Amino acid sequence: MKPKSLNLFRKVLGIFLSVILVATLMPSMSVKVKAAIGTGKLFVAGVDITTQSNKTITTSTTGVTSGTAVLDESGTRPVLKLNNFQYKGDGYSDGRNYYGLFVASGTNIDIELTNDNKLELNDHTTGTQPGNYGVNLNNSTTISGTGSLEVKTGASYSNKGLYFLSGATISGVSITVNVGDAPNGSTGILSGNTLTIQNSTIKSTAGKSTNSTSSGIDCTKLIVENSIIESHGNRGSESYGITSPNSYSISDSSTIIATADAATVYSLGTTLFEISRGSLVASGYTQAVYRPVKNTIKGVGWTNPEGTTGKTTIDVSETARELDSSLKKVKFPGHDHSLTYSASSAVITATCANTDGECDLTDNKVDLTIVKPARTTYGGT
C-alpha cells in the first residue's frame, strides 16, 4: 500500500495537470465574440441604425418611402439587409460630406439586397465644398442577394456613387449608379483595392467634372466573372469609362461596354489587360485603350469613337502589347454572327450572313441534328 501522502500528491498533480490542459486548450476553444456594431458607426438614410428599435429602419424615418433596412448581427459578420428599401434625402453628414449609407472606418459589414432598393442623395453645392457619397465603406465588403440597388446622387463638389476604400465583391445582384456633376471629381464606382464583380449586372454613369476626373469605374484591380458591365465617364478634364491600372481580366461570358466622353486632357475608354472570352466594347476621344492588351480572340478597331472610320482588324496576341494609339473605338470579338436558320428533315442549319471573313463557323454555318425522343408526350410511356 502506498503512503497516503503520495496519493494526495498524485491527486494534486492530476488536478494541476488538468488545469494546465484546459488552459492550453482554451485559446483554440475560445468562442468567437460577435462584435456588435457600436453607435455612430453605421448610418443608413441619415439615421444611426444601431440605435433604432430592432436595429431596423422603416418608412417612419424621413425620406424612406418603402421597405426596410435591418442590421442583422446574428452571423459571424454583421449584415445590412435592404429589402425594397427606398430613400431620398440629405443622408448622414459628417460635417462636410453627405452619405446615403455610411460605414465608419474599422467596421466590417456585408450587404444583402432583396427586391429593388434605392438610395438617392440631394444636391449639396453650398458650404465648404461638400461631397456626396451614395455608399461609403472603408473596410472590404460583399454585396450579394437576389435584388437590386440603385444609387443616385445630386450635384456636389465631389461625387462618388459607391466608394470602397478596401475593395469589394459584388455577387449575383444588379446595381445601377448615376452620380451628379461635381467640379472636383465625379466617379460612379471607386475602389481602393480589388473590385470583383461576379454574376452581376452593373451600370455606372458618372457626372461632368469641370476641374477633375469623370470616371464610370475607377479601381486598382478589376475582376469580372460572368457579368455585364456598362460604364461611362462624362465630360471633364479627364474622362474614363473604366480605369484599373494594376490589372483587369474578363472571363466567362462577360460583356463590358466602357465609354468616355470628350475631355480637355484625356478621354480614355478603358484599361484592358486580358480578354480571352466574353466581349468588350471601349471608346474614348483620345484613345480607346491605354494599357497593354493580351487578347486571345480577334478584335476590330476604328479611328473615331463612333466606330465609323478607319476600321482595322486587331490580331490575336498571346503577349500583352499596346494597341495602335490611333484607335478610338475597339471591339472584341470583332465578328458578330448574323444567323438565319433553315430546317431539312431532322437537321436545323444556322448560317452566318456576316461575310467579313472572321466567322469561326466552318463555311459560315453549323448543323444541329434533332433525335426523336423515346417518349413524345409529357408523362407518356
| Residue 256 found at the interface with Zn ion (CB under 5 A) | no
Specify the residue, 340 or 354, whose C-beta has the smaller distance to Zn ion.
354
* Rounded-to-integer distance, Cα 134 and Cα 159, Å: 8
- CA-derived radius of gyration, the chain: 28
Residue 278: exposure state from Cβ atoms within 10 A (0-12, 13-18, ≥19): buried
Q: Report the relative pairing of strands 347-352 and 365-369 from DSSP bridges.
A: antiparallel
Q: Is 365 in the site for Zn ion (CB under 5 A)?
A: no
- Our CB check for Zn ion shows the closer of 256 and 359 to be 359
359 near Zn ion (CB under 5 A): yes
Give the Cβ contact number of residue 265 at 10 Å. Answer: 10
Does 298 bind Zn ion (CB under 5 A)? Our answer is: no
Q: Are 131 and 122 in contact (CB under 8 A)?
A: no
**320 vs 350 by CB, closer to Zn ion:** 350
In the bound state with Zn ion, the residue whose beta carbon lies nearer, of 104 and 339, is 339
Please, what is the minimum distance in Å from the beta carbon of residue 351 to Zn ion?
9
**All residues at 6 or more sequence positions from 294 whose CB lies less than 8 Å from its CB, including other chains:** 273, 274, 275, 317, 318, 319, 320, 321
State the minimum distance, in angstroms, from the CB of residue 118 to Zn ion: 41
Applying CB under 5 A, which part among 43-51, 78-86, 183-191, 359-367 lies near Zn ion? 359-367
Q: Which is nearer to Zn ion, 294 or 298 (CB)?
A: 298
- Min CB(277)–Zn ion separation in Å: 16
Smallest separation, CB 125 to Zn ion (Å): 51
Q: Where does this chain touch Zn ion (CB under 5 A) — which range of 23-31, 151-159, 241-249, 357-365?
A: 357-365
CA distance 131 to 217: 18
C-beta of residue 331 within 8 angstroms of C-beta of residue 308 = no
Nearer of residues 76 and 342 to Zn ion, judged by Cβ: 342
Please identify which residue in 81, 221, 311, 337 interacts with Zn ion, judged by CB under 5 A.
Answer: 337
Give whichever of 104 and 348 is closer to Zn ion, judged by the CB atom. 348
Candidate list 45, 79, 101, 352; residue touching Zn ion; CB under 5 A: 352
Single out the segment in contact with Zn ion by CB under 5 A; choices: 43-51, 249-257, 302-310, 333-341: 333-341
Q: How far is CA 378 from the centre of its chain?
A: 43
Which of 43-51, 81-89, 189-197, 337-345 is the region at the interface with Zn ion (rule: CB under 5 A)?
A: 337-345
SS3 call for 28: helix
Residue listed under C-alpha cell 463590358: 256
The rounded distance, in Å, linking the Cα atoms of 309 and 329 is: 10
What letter would DSSP give residue 379? T
Please give the residue ranges that form the binding site for Zn ion (CB under 5 A): 337, 352, 354, 359
